[in-house]
Structure 1
Amino acid sequence: MDYPRQLLDLPRMLFSVTFIALMTLACFWVVQPFILGFAWASMVVIATWPLLIKIQGLLWGRRSLAVVVMTLLLVLLFVLPVSILISSVIDNSAPLVAWATQPNRLTLPTLHWLRDVPLVGHKLYSGWQTMISGGGGPLVTKIQPYIGQSATWLLSQVAQVGSFLIHCGLMILFSVLLYIRGERVALAVRHFAIRLGAERGDASVLLAAQAIRAVALGVVLTAIVQAVLGGIGLAVSGIPLATILTIVMFIMCIAQLGPLPILIPAMIWLYWSGDTTWGTVLLIWSCVVGTLDNILRPIFIRMGADLPILLVLCGVIGGLLAFGMIGLFIGPVVLAVSYRLIFAWVHEAPSPSEMHDPEKHLSDLSEL
């Protein structure tokens, strides 16, 4: 018996795909202001979920009380330090901009210490003095506008911190919602992943959660501990602008550069100014803080997954350039998740040595 062939309705398929694409773009357009906040909240909730469960157990199994405690912790860890940073940057940037933009305020140093350099000291000193007396004025005049523009640009970047605060608020709001309904959201995400990729989709979700926790524990938490301890050392030693230096130290710790690029110049400045007592104290404290990551990071990484340092560094720099300050957290996580998924996908296939064993190949040829 012959059945009539069902004709392919090509216009219907094109209109269906177009409608789905338009609806997807419209949904993305609507939720675009909330994507970064929700992504950040998802990372925070995944990384701190075991802590929420422990706090819930201590509070008689009440999820609502545990959510309140976690919300207060997030406010103390994110909103309060950023507010302090904004006020400190604003207070200290205005005098810098005023000094840099005023004419005839920038002069080249005399560098008398060049005379003490062996062999070439006198020649360097005489050449520097000639440049100061002859061409120093025009040189300073040319450099002056760029210094003023650079200082003004740095101050203008403070406006981006307002956007960062908005994302912080959205992050806390979404975190509260995810803390309350975390199990349902996780089940829905895994169900969607299974719908897309069956067992491999579910495994990808679990690997992504593992990578997020590894970055949060092995990188961010270690950076927070080192930056806080280093900032305490700077403040106690009397280093000016300790708050801004602490934030810069935190960024360097996330970029796997450590706190020493900030602590060593501060220590040198203390010795140069004659305060040898606090310089020695900061030296000892810097040795402790600088080596602390060698102890903390392996402990934290065992809780997650081992990640290459180069990958974390690229994630920090690329995330900072792409998303601003929030990219410090999102960049490493995105690359870590992608790295873990690609790594797992590649290792699903047998290695070339297993597929083409040279000895087995030679034995097969000898039989022929």
Structure 2
Amino acid sequence: MVTSSQPRDVPQILLSVLFLSLMIVACLWIVRPFILGFMWAGTVVIVTWPVLIRLQRLLFGRRSLAVLVMTLLLFLLFIIPIALLVNSMVDSGVPLIRSVSSGEMTLPDLNWLNSVPVIGARLYTGWHNLLDMGGTAIMAKIRPYIGTTTTWFVGQAAHIGRFMMHCTLMLLFSALLYWQGEKVARGIRHFATRLAAKRGDAAVVLAAQAVRAVALGVVVTALVQAVLGGIGLAISGVPYATILTVVMLFSCLIQLGPLPVLVPSIIWLYWSGDTTWGTVLLVISCVVGTIDNVLRPILIRMGADLPMILILSGVIGGLVAFGMIGLFIGPVLLAVSWRLFDAWVKEVPPPQDNTDEVLEEYPLPDSSSDR
């Protein structure tokens, strides 16, 4: 018996797809101002969810009290310090931009090189020979790039209104997710299961692990190092300590560590004759520079090995794409994508090491047989 298949109604299919596409685009356009805040809140809630559960147990099982305490902690330990840091960065960055743009910044004389034993006089003479051969011209050429770069970085922090809006949204969405966390997680897993069955559910779990790994192992470690290093810069009397702290945070996020900022600061303190505070900052730098070797293994317990190029690309790309918030969101997005891609690739066995056996199964055509 032959059954004739009904012809497909192509216009109906095209119009249905077009309608669904328009609905999706319209919904995304409506929620576009809230996407970054919600992503930021989701990252924070995923990382701090075990803390919420412990607080709920301590507070007699009351979820409302636990959510209130967690929201207050986020406001005191996260929102206020970041807002103060951004405001201080903008305030201290204005004179720096003015000095760079007006041409007041010149190459230093480095008289302290004469005090270096054995080779100090030669270093001082060589440095001044370089200045006489065109040091002023070199500074004149690189000054526009320094000014442009500095203005761009400070300009990213200058959007205080938008940044504070995202901070407020993050705090609001975090409270909502804390309150209905299990229901939201169940809904996301249900949707993923509807899309790709068990593979979709596994993808959601892997994504949560990747978020927690990059947030704890990279972002939290960088924040701790930057805060401790910034405190050392502030108490040592190093100028522009706020801007240097932001640069140190950026350096820690891209896995260069805090030493590219702390070492020049130590040299400057000794050069200016403040040996006491230079020694204090040297001790602080030894602690801050090595704390990640102890802190990162403690924070990362799921064994997520994230490539350095992934973190570097996420930090820089996130900063360019989303501003200051991208420093945190960029690595998280790339880490989630990397874990899902890695899991998808590993669903099949790896290729054989012996390439000759592969060529035996799929031999190349013999050109001599065509003659």
1:128 and 1:354 map into 2 onto residues whose CA distance is 58
The amino acid of 1:47's aligned partner reads: V
Letter in 1 for 2:291: L
Shift of residue 152 of structure 1?
A: 5.0
Alpha-carbon distance, 1:157 to partner: 3.4
**How far, CA to CA, are the matches of 1:15 and 1:292 in structure 2?**
59
Encode CA deviations 1:227-285: one digit per residue, 9 max, x unaligned. Answer: 22212222222222323322222221111111111111111111111111221121122
The one-letter code matched in structure 1 to 2:29 is W
Q: Structure 1 229/102 Cα, relative in aligned 2: closer, same or farther at 3 Å?
A: closer
Residue 53 of structure 2 corresponds to which residue in structure 1? 53
Is structure 2 residue 266 aligned with structure 1 residue 267?
yes
Query: What residue in structure 2 maps to residue 21 of structure 1?
Result: 21
Shift of 1:345: 1.2
Contact 2:93 2:243 in 1 (8 A): no
Q: 1:109 & 1:287 partners in 2: Cα distance?
A: 27
- Contact between 2:38 and 2:169, CA under 8 Å: does it hold in 1? yes
Name the CA shift for 1:150/1:60 in 2 (closer, same or farther; >3 Å): same
Which residue number in structure 2 is paired with residue 366 of structure 1? Answer: none
Q: Which residue of 2 aligns with 1:12?
A: 12
Distance in 2, Cα, partners of 1:3 & 1:150: 70
Counting aligned pairs with the same residue, the percent is: 60
Q: Does 1:32 align with 2:32?
A: yes
Between 86-95 and 315-324, report the one with greater CA deviation.
86-95
Classify 1:248/1:6 alpha carbon distance in 2 versus 1 (closer, same or farther; 3 Å).
same
Aligned to 2:204: 205
Measured at CA, do residues 114 and 42 of structure 1 come closer, stay the same or move farther in structure 2, by a change above 3 Å?
closer
Q: Return the offset for 1:56.
A: 0.7
Code of the residue aligned with 1:276 in structure 2: it is: T
Gaps of 5+ in 2: 362-371
Say if 1:185 and 1:354 are closer, same or farther in 2 by CA, change over 3 A: farther
CA distance in 1, matches of 2:206, 2:126: 63
Map 1:353-368; keep pairs closer than 5 Å: 353=352
The answer to whether the 8 Å contact 1:217/1:304 transfers is: no
Structure 1 partner of 2:364: none
Query: Matched residue of 1:352: which SS?
Result: coil
Q: Which amino acid aligns with 1:333?
A: V
Pair 98,355 (structure 1): closer, same or farther in 2 beyond 3 Å: closer
CA-based RMSD of the aligned residues comes to 3.1
Q: Secondary structure at the match of 1:312?
A: helix
Query: Is the Cα contact below 8 Å between 2:90 and 2:158 reproduced in 1?
Result: no
Gapped regions of structure 1 (runs ≥ 5): 363-368
**How far does the alpha carbon of each residue in 1:101-130 deviate from its partner, in whole angstroms, 9 at most, with x for none?**
557x45565566789767797576456346
1:270·1:279 contact (CA, 8 Å) conserved in 2?
A: yes
- Provide the rounded CA distance (Å) in 1 between the counterparts of 2:292 and 2:87: 30
Structure 1 residues 6 and 194: CA distance shift in structure 2, 3 A: same
The question of 1:281 aligning with 2:284 is answered no
With over 3 angstroms needed to count, the CA separation of the structure-2 counterparts of 1:147 and 1:223, relative to structure 1, is closer
Structure 2 CA distance, aligned partners of 1:172 and 1:28? 21
Superposed CA offset, 1:115-163 (max 9, x none): 976779757645634658xxx5x88777776666666555543432432
* Aligned residues of 1:114 and 1:125 also touching (Cα < 8 A): no
CA distance in 2, matches of 1:14, 1:333: 36
Q: Assess if the C-alpha contact under 8 Å between 1:101 and 1:145 holds in 2.
A: yes
Change (3 A) 1:228 1:109: closer
Contact 2:44 2:174 in 1 (8 A): yes
> Partner of 1:220 in structure 2?
219
User: Could you tell me the TM-score, scaled by structure 1's length?
Assistant: 0.86
1:62-211 maps to which residues of 2 (within 5 A)?
A: 62-102=62-102, 105=104, 125=128, 128-129=131-132, 131=134, 152-211=151-210
- SS for the counterpart of 1:320 is helix
Query: Compared with structure 1, are the counterparts of its residues 329 and 143 closer, same or farther at alpha carbon in structure 2 (3 Å cutoff)?
Result: closer
Q: 1:353 to 1:88 in 2, by over 3 A?
A: same
**Residue type at the aligned position of 1:21:** S
